Amino acid sequence: MTLRSYNVPGPRPAGVALAEDADMLEVLQGFVHELRLAGLPVSMTENLDAMQAVAHVPISDRAAFRSALAATLVKHHRHQRAFDVLFDVYFSLHGALPADGSGAEAAAEGTGGPPGDGGGAAGELSDEELADLLLAALSSMDRDELRRLAGEAVTRYAGMEPGRPVGGTYYLYRTLRQLDIEGLTARLAALAEASAPTDERDDPLATRIRREEHEQRVRQLRELVEAEIRRRLVADRGVEAMARTLRRPLPEDADFMHASRQEMRELQRAIEPLTRALAARLAQRRRRRHRGQLDFRSTVRHSLSYGGVPAEPKFRHPRPSKPEIMVVADISGSVASFARFTLQFVHAMAGQFSKVRSWVFIDGIDEVTRFFDEADDLTEAVHRVNTDADVVWVDGHSDYGHAFEVFHERHAREVTPKTSLLVLGDARNNYHAPQAWVLEDLRRRGRHVYWLNPEQRGYWDTGDSVIADYAPHCDGVFECRNLRQLQQFVTAVIER
Amino acid sequence: MARFESVDDVVTRLRGADYLADTGIAGVVFLADRLEKPVLVEGPAGVGKTELAKATATVTGSRLIRLQCYEGLDESKALYEWNYKKQLLRIQSDREHEASWAEVEADIFSEPFLLTRPLLEAIRAEEPIVLLIDEVDRVEVETEALLLEVLSDFQVSIPELGTIKGHQRPRVFLTSNNTRELSEALKRRCLYLHIDYPDIEREREIVRVRVPEIDEDLAGQVASVVRSVRQLDLKKAPSISETIDWARTLLYLGRHEIDAEVLDETLHVLLKYQSDLARAHKELGADRGPGLTTGTTG
């Protein structure tokens, strides 16, 4: 069986379960291959498990089928989203859609039937009537009806043309705009308010809860529309093409400098468990690296089990020293999100260091440790770094040289042999003097100097990047474009 | 022992043990039953990971054997250990009888001197077993390797006794709070289940099942307020067990309606950090100060 041989043989009528097992296995292989392309580490064993699993769960029971595949193929929660998207692409044409037969019609329509026909009675509705029906379905939360109406709305508003190379987002946007989804939310709210008991109408808590409920329902409608569009696109273009357009880097591989807002949100969510995991592992490593002194009392106590022979020496728990970290970060536009991230990352791991202090600069430099000490949570602290730090000296263009000079003047004496200095930035100095002697001096005073550069290695020392001037005075210069590299760096440093 | 017929069967039977599983959870439990594989359950604290193992044990009529993991857990605490002290006594009491070393050795390395620990106990059991390895993320990587060996073969070799093989495969659940990344090797051998906070309908049902005295309306209110609280940016979002505690608290206080005042008095049951409490008070308008601004429009 070749891995890449799978192609959709034209639109397949939905509602018909896969006829043969061989067919199923082939689809599965294509799916696994695509997961690997998306970066998920699917091993041979897991692949075999998935094949066994599908034998026990019928594809017609979509939710169970999905969970069976997820349980065998996805072993990291942060990869779940990538899996879900691909699952929809690969299996949207396979297996029965719940409840009604309109799936088959809709799929057929998607491949080029004139808009408006099919969809049964809904075909004769006016736009207002469709909106009314949607409103009714939303307020009673009738999922089957909602799905049917979402399909109708896509047929009517998306204006999908077969073979046209536009992304699903375009059709989604068109459909949602035509549906006037905001107006729908407002009408839903008004409806609910009218039926609420009078004493609850002005109650902020009740209002808030009602609003969240509505948002949730409208979000579901949006998801249904999105799924419907995706399904039709798959029918039109084929599975592989769709999977390719939808391929996104996993959260840990997303580039700091070019992450979209959506990716940033996912990164934000991924960073917390990662730091926790990393901190725990580092603490453990450090504790276990060497044993402490002989614990005489304990050894004698345990020798009693061996008739007084000290056969099992006991040791005290070691108390290893923790490094002290100073972070100096460039927060000018191009690298701001990287700096924000790394600051958050380092401070989240503050427990692993005896002390963490941080400075941010553009052409002026300001210590921001206080924000992290005062704020309740890191997101708030990072926000204050962005708004309150005093980092502009002349014109608000990066000047590493000046920032370093000021840092040296004010804090050089605080750099001790226990201090590791971490510099974050792309070293794009706008042709100012690099003042590399500062790093040289700091390295002599401190323990280590590391530089993290969020730019791709290939762009270093091009244009106004002067990383080569600084590199000789650092113990290491690392490319740090995504969470994975950041994590590798921290592990490597602490294990020295 | 009663195997599961289908995914729906899992849902129905777990419900009988007061555990409400959604299709995702039930699907994995069913698959684990069919493929005879361990299930690795991850998720935030207090979403019912351990409960799932307990409920599965109840509905399949199995005995639950629990191995609580902690840092420093080793073979002698997880698998088996020779009872040194008893062996020593045995040797000393033997001095008068002049027994040969071979006899003594055969004697002191036999069943009565073996202390079985949870893993060995699960392997040797005759009756159906659910083995719960709780908080597996706390053990060191070396101990994880030991677990791997046991989980893949379900046999243990004790040099003095020979290989002990299980009569049956126990159902195994491993739970993890994700304080560290488990090894790929362990993950490969397990089915993976991530349990998240339940959606509003399921949470309402859970409250009704676990707090049967509550009326439907209040259960619904509890679930919606908890959802609302979880959407805030908190250090620690309320878990299901905290939701249930809160529902009980409301009952004891004789409240049938959640308003700002009640919320103000009882929010500390849901939230355990001062900063979280402050934020919730502010956002949900629970401190009833003048000039409330939350949600002025519908």
Confidence at B174, pLDDT banded by 50, 70, 90: very high
CB A119, CB A101: distance < 8 Å: no
For chain A, say whether B24 makes contact (Cβ under 8 Å): yes
Question: Which of A80, A211, A276 is the closest to B194 by Cβ?
Answer: A80
Q: Look at residue A303 in the predicted model and tell me its pLDDT.
A: 82
CB contacts, 8 Å: A49 with chain B: 35, 37, 191
pLDDT tens sequence across B160-170: 888 888 888 88
Confidence at B285, pLDDT banded by 50, 70, 90: low
- Long-range CB pairs of B243-249 (<8 Å, 24+ gap) are B243/B203, B243/B206, B243/B207, B243/B270, B244/B206, B244/B207, B244/B210, B244/B211, B245/B269, B246/B222, B246/B270, B247/B207, B247/B210, B247/B211, B247/B214, B247/B218, B247/B219, B247/B222, B248/B211
Chain A's closest residue to B226, CA to CA, is: A209
pLDDT tens sequence across A154-212: 888 877 777 666 667 778 888 888 877 778 888 887 877 777 666 666 677 777 888 88
Average pLDDT of the segment spanning A388-415:
83
Q: Which of B62, B79, B44, B8 has its CA nearest to residue B196?
A: B44
pLDDT at residue A8 is higher than 50? no
Give the rounded distance of the alpha carbon of A128 from its chain centre. 39
Q: Any idea which of A98-107, A430-439, A453-462 has the lowest mean pLDDT?
A: A98-107
pLDDT at residue A249 is higher than 80? no
CB contacts, 8 Å: B188 with chain A: 43, 45-46, 75
Question: Which of A66, A71, A209 is the closest to B193 by Cβ?
Answer: A71
Q: What's the gap in Å between the CA of A281 and the closest CA on chain B?
A: 6
- Measured CA to CA, the distance from residue B207 to residue B248 in angstroms comes to 9
Q: Rounded mean pLDDT of chain B? A: 84
B275/A284 CB distance under 8 A: no
Q: CA separation (Å) from B74 to A204, A466, B77, B165?
A: 54, 52, 5, 21
In order, the DSSP letters of A79-92 are GHHHHHHHHHHHHT
Under 8 Å CB-to-CB from B157, ≥6 apart: which residues? B163, B164
Q: What's the gap in Å between the CA of B96 and the closest CA on chain A?
A: 18
Q: Where do we find the tokens 């029965």?
A: A96
Q: Which of A390, A369, A392, A391 has its CA nearest to residue A381?
A: A369
Q: What's the gap in Å between the CA of B8 and the closest CA on chain A?
A: 10
Q: What is the ipTM of this complex?
A: 0.82
How many beta-carbon pairs below 8 A join chains A and B?
Answer: 136
pLDDT at residue A403 is higher than 80? yes
In order, the DSSP letters of chain B are -PPP-SHHHHHHHHHHTT----HHHHHHHHHHHHHT--EEEE-STTSSHHHHHHHHHHHTTPEEEEEE--TT--HHHHTEEE-HHHHHHHHHHHGGGT--HHHHHHHHTSGGGEEE-HHHHHHH-SS-EEEEEETGGGS-HHHHHHHHHHHHH-EEEETTTEEEE-SSPPEEEEEE--SSPPPHHHHHHSEEEE--PPPHHHHHHHHHHHSTTS-HHHHHHHHHHHHHHHTS--SS---HHHHHHHHHHHHHTT--S--HHHHHHHHHHH--SHHHHHHHHHHTTTT--SS--TT---
Q: Look at residue B132 in the predicted model and tell me its pLDDT.
A: 94
B286/A207 CB distance under 8 A: no
- Measured CA to CA, the distance from residue A39 to residue A47 in angstroms comes to 15
Confidence at A124, pLDDT banded by 50, 70, 90: low
Average pLDDT of the segment spanning A134-149:
81
For chain A, say whether B285 makes contact (Cβ under 8 Å): yes
B23/A64 CB distance under 8 A: yes
Q: Look at residue A2 in the predicted model and tell me its pLDDT.
A: 40
- CB contacts under 8 A, B 174-233 vs A, are 178-181, 184, 187-194, 200, 221, 224-225, 227-228, 231, 233
Phi and psi at residue B156, in whole multiples of 5°? -135, 135
Q: Whole-prediction pTM value?
A: 0.73
- Measured CA to CA, the distance from residue A158 to residue B278 in angstroms comes to 45
A489 or B193: whose pLDDT is higher? B193
pLDDT tens sequence across B220-268: 889 988 988 888 878 788 999 899 999 999 988 888 888 878 888 888 8
Q: Look at residue A283 in the predicted model and tell me its pLDDT.
A: 66
pLDDT tens sequence across B79-111: 888 888 888 888 887 777 767 777 777 888 888
SS3 A326: strand
Confidence at B1, pLDDT banded by 50, 70, 90: very low
Q: Rounded mean pLDDT of chain A? A: 76
CB A34, CB A243: distance < 8 Å: yes
Q: Look at residue A319 in the predicted model and tell me its pLDDT.
A: 62
CB contacts, 8 Å: B227 with chain A: 212
- Measured CA to CA, the distance from residue B13 to residue B114 in angstroms comes to 38
Q: CA separation (Å) from B191 to A38, A76, A304, B32?
A: 21, 11, 45, 7
pLDDT at residue A7 is higher than 50? no
Neighbouring-strand partners of residue B82: B114
- Measured CA to CA, the distance from residue B251 to residue B267 in angstroms comes to 14
Phi and psi at residue B294, in whole multiples of 5°? -65, 130
Confidence at A112, pLDDT banded by 50, 70, 90: very low
Confidence at B28, pLDDT banded by 50, 70, 90: very high
Q: Where do we find the tokens 């250090």?
A: B235
pLDDT tens sequence across B180-205: 778 888 888 899 999 989 988 899 99
Average pLDDT of the segment spanning A353-372:
84
For chain A, say whether B9 makes contact (Cβ under 8 Å): no
Q: What's the gap in Å between the CA of B220 and the closest CA on chain A?
A: 11
Confidence at A101, pLDDT banded by 50, 70, 90: very low
A377/B235 CB distance under 8 A: yes
Residue type, A188: L
pLDDT at residue B121 is higher than 80? yes
CB contacts, 8 Å: A48 with chain B: none
CB B29, CB B35: distance < 8 Å: no
Question: Which of B179, B188, B227 is the closest to A276 by Cβ?
Answer: B179
